[in-house]
Amino acid sequence: MIGIINDRCDFCGTCVAVCPVDAIELFEARIKILDHCTDCMLCVWICPVETLAAIEQNGTIKNNEVASLG
């Protein structure tokens, strides 16, 4: 699944624009991944500030680089 590191988000809407299945909602200063997300990763890749990340079943962040970013 896709996780959100909320304090990095600038609410720019870029992830919403690339989502092929309209599974991201941006409401004021909050983003939400909807249940029909297909884990295609486009939002994770496009985010300029690495707000989104793939999360393993056990809750760890798949992309370690994200976690290490200052």
Partner 1 sequence: MRSQYDCVVVGGGPGGAWAAKHAAAQGASVLLLEKDREVGIPVRCAEAVGIAGLKAVVEPQSRWISNVIEGAVLVSPEGKEVLLASDTAQGYMLDRKIFDYDLVRIATESGVEVLTKAYVYGLIKQNNIVMGVRVQHMGARHDILAKIVIGADGVESRVGRWAGLKTNIKLNDMESCLQMTLSNINVDPRYIYLYFGQEVAPGGYLWVFPKGENQANVGLGIAGTFARYKSAQKYLKEFVDRQFPHAAVLYTVVGGVPCAPTLKKIVSDGLMLVGDAAHQVNPMSGGGIVTAMLAGKIAGKVAAEAVQAGDVGTDRLMRYAESWHRAEGKNHERFHKIKQAVYKLSDADLNKTAESVLRLAPEKRTLSNIFRAALIKHPALIFDVVKAFV
- Would you tell me which residues interact with partner 1 (CB under 8 A)? 10, 12-14, 16-20, 22, 26-28, 41-42, 45-50, 69
Minimum Å gap between C-beta 55 and partner 1 is: 18
Question: What is the separation of C-alpha 68 from the centre of its chain, rounded to a whole number of angstroms?
Answer: 16
User: Least distance from C-beta 15 to partner 1, angstroms?
Assistant: 8
Q: How far is the CB of 27 from partner 1 (least distance, A)?
A: 8
Which three-class secondary structure string do you get for 21-60? CCCEEEECCEEEECCCCCCCCHHHHHCCCCCEEEECCCCC
